[in-house]
Structure 1
């Protein structure tokens, strides 16, 4: 799989500024973070690090991902933005993952996890997206969801309803995400929503990173 092929790829996107008195070498931490996000379970990541001569627990690797606080880089000026949402389950509860993607690069611009999907929450997502990127002249590609269209209208942003073509960029990313999480049935168990959101944002960073 493409995800597994990227286990040993570029790791410059992983910022380890959070490291203070960590006894683990930084390159090992980066390898562990990358491997888990790219496709290995926590248990398999533990085994990988053991093969490299380092013994760390599943919790330690989980904590590295959380502490790294990885986010997609800001400062882009996309011509088009594919905007969509999909269901993510956390502890048998349904949450909504909002995502904005640049169809020209297939990169994720912003992701957020909400407990429901409404016009007001979409406005929050767009406000955060606006703070991160220059989107004033971008054209948004959305499906028929009325709350998405209403929020874009209120924000004064251009959009067109599109069920195929460039809007499929974000659908492809959602499919990749769900393949990545298929080992736990697209469901995060025994975690808080904030923890799941942090992992999803780290996934977005990994997705955008060059091979």
Structure 2
């Protein structure tokens, strides 16, 4: 397993406290999680680990990602927050991925998956964002979506409508996410919405990690 330890790349962001009686060496598990979230399909991740002498199934790697339960770290104090949403498909059904990003650091602050997009769900998202980060003095950047603006008004949070500039930070992240998921046609198949949301939150944690 010394070969695994020599592989480059920061993986300190991966918390393996969930490991109990897992027989796989932790460096291999961390590599598997990182590789699958960052760039490789489950099949290609299996092949990568196999080249390193670690024989594990697609399901095993999938379970590592789910059990790790990784999310963006809390406790940020952004000056601005880009707020947006995009469509994610799960088993041919349309879901909405809400995301809040810090334009300055380019980090994702919070992500959630909802079956639809409404003012009430936006309020739930904002409440969770408030619980995780100090956002009371932040300025939110949104597009022309009325439900986003209404939810921010009800929450007493400052915002401005902006279609370009710093608000593009979250759109660039969405493009990277969709590039990553192109290996499964921008669609999660044969999974529950919570499973897909867990993967998306792990992606957010990977995106925020130092390179």
Runs of 4+ in 1 over 4 A off after TM superposition: none
Structure 2 equivalent of residue 37 of structure 1: 37
Number of residue equivalences? 205
Give yes or no for contact 1:86–1:98 (8 Å, CA) kept in 2: yes
Aligned to 2:4: none
Give the Cα separation in 2 of the matches to 1:185 and 1:105. 29
Q: Which residue of 2 aligns with 1:174?
A: 174
Structure 1 unaligned runs (5+)? 1-6
Task: Tell me if the contact between 1:143 and 1:162 (Cα under 8 Å) persists in the aligned partners.
Answer: yes
Residue 171 of structure 1: how far off its partner (Å)? 0.2
Aligned position for 1:73: 73
Deviations 1:48-86 (A, max 9, x none): 111111100000000000000000000000000000000
Q: Distance in 1 between matches of 2:8 and 2:32?
A: 10
TM-score scaled by length of structure 1 = 0.96
Report the TM-score, using the length of structure 2 for normalisation: 0.96
Query: Cα distance, 1:22 vs. partner?
Result: 0.6
Q: Aligned runs of 1:1-211 on 2, under 5 Å? A: 8-211=8-211
Q: Aligned to 1:181, what secondary structure does the other structure show?
A: helix
How much is the aligned-residue C-alpha RMSD, in angstroms? 0.8
Task: Spell out, residue by residue over 1:81-139, the C-alpha distance to the aligned partner (whole angstroms, 9 max, x if none).
Answer: 00000000000000000000000010000000000000000000000000000000000
Where 1:46 maps in the other structure, the secondary structure is helix
CA shift for structure 1 position 179: 0.2
